[in-house]
Amino acid sequence: MGCWDALAIEWEGLKYYKSVFARLIMDPATKAKTSFGQMFRGIVVGAHYEWLTNPKKTSESVVEEVCGKGNYDALKGKVVIITGATNGLGLENARCLLKYGCHVVFAMRNKEKAAKVVAEMQAKETLTGKATFINIQLDDLSTVKPFVQEFLAMNLPLHCLINNAGIMAPPVYRASKQGLESQFAINNMSHYLLTHLLLPKLKETAQTSGEARIVYLGSLAGEACWNIDLDTSVPSGPEFYSDIGDYTSTKCIDMIHARHLHDKHTKDKIFVCAVHPGIINSGLGKDNPGLTAAFYAGSSLKHTHKSQAEGAATTMYCALSPEVPKKSVTEGAWWYYNCQPQRCIGFASKATPEFQEKLEAKCWDLAKAYA
C-alpha cells in the first residue's frame, strides 16, 4: 500500500469517527441505543483490556489442549452446526473441528462455495471429519425450518450449535425478506428461530451424551449498548435506523439471548455462552467503508487486532473446553473473551429476567409464523 492510499484510509476513518461522535450527540436513533461514555468504555477501553490480557491462543491450540495434539480422531461422533462457516472465523472453527474428526454441518446459502472451500482445505491438510452442507438464508426466516427439518432427518445428535454468522453496520437501512431491519434479521432473528427449533435435539443429546452447548458470537460492541426499547428498536424502522447504534443493540440482543438460555438451560446440561472474538479484519462491516477504515484498515485500533486464528480461539474454547460446564455451574459464567469468562457491562448485564422474557416474547411473535 502506498503512502497516499494509507493517508486516504486514515482520513476516511477520521471522518467516520467524527460522524459517530456527532450522532452520539445529536441523532435520536443513535442516542437511544448507545452513548459516548458507553461506546468509549465498551469498545475503546474493552479493546485495550482485551489486548493487554490476550493469551495469544489460537483455535487450533485450544483444540490441541482439549483433544491432545495429533489425536485427529478425538472428536469422532461429535456433531456441530456452524452458521457462516464458509469464511472468516466460522471457517477457521470448521477447519479445526474437521481436522480433529468432528462432523461439521455448514449452515450456508451456497453449497457450491462451501464444497469448494472444504476441498481447498483438504488439499492443504488431512481433515478426518465429515462436512455436510445444508442451505439456509439468514435474511429469510422461511428458510430456517427447512434447514432444521433436513438436519433432523439425518438422525444425528447435536453436540454444539455455533451461531457465528452476522453483518455489521450497513451504512443505509436494508430490510430482510420479512421486512425486518437486516442486522436484526441476520444477527438475531434467524439465530433465535434456529436455536428455538433445535433446542429439543440439543436436550436429547445432553441426556444421552451428558451435555450440549450453544455459542453465540457477541461483541464488545454489545457492551456499548446502554438501552433497548422493545417498541422502537426491536426492530428499528427506516426512520429510527443507526448503523452503529443498531449494531450495538443487535449484538446486545445476542448476548441477552445467550444469558437467558444459560440461566434457563444449565440445569438441562445445555451450556450457553456468548463470546467476543476480538477486533479482526475478517470482512465484517465491508459494506461500510468508513467503519472499515476506522476499526480495521486504519491505525487507530490496529495494535489491538487479532489474527483470524486468535479470534476463533474463544469460540473453540466455549464449544469444547471441559472448564466451561464447571464455570457455568459454579460461577454462572456465560460471557467470554480471551478464553476466559469476563464481567459483562452495559445493558446485557442489567437486563432483568422480566425484560428477558419480554424480549423473548417479542422475538417469538415475529418468528412464530415460520416455526
**Which residues are registered as beta bridge partners of 162?**
82, 215
Q: Which residues of the chain have pLDDT under 50?
A: none
298-324 residue pLDDT tens: 999 999 999 999 999 999 999 999 999
Structure confidence at residue 1 (pLDDT)? 66
CB 187 within 8 A of CB 193: no
Q: What is the distance, to the nearest Å, from the Cα of residue 291 to the centroid of all Cα atoms in its chain?
A: 18
Domain layout of the chain by residue ranges: 3-370
Nearest to 256 by CA among 326, 334, 316: 334
CA angle 357, 81, 121 (to 5 degrees): 145
Could you read off the pLDDT of 79-102 as tens digits, one per residue?
Answer: 999 999 999 999 999 999 999 999
**Residues annotated catalytic, as ranges:** 241
Calpha distance 248→235 (Å, rounded): 13
Whole-model pTM over 0.75: yes
- The span from the CA of 19 to the CA of 27, in Å, is 10
Q: What's the fold here for domain 3-370?
A: Rossmann fold (3.40.50)
Looking at residue 4, what is its pLDDT? 85
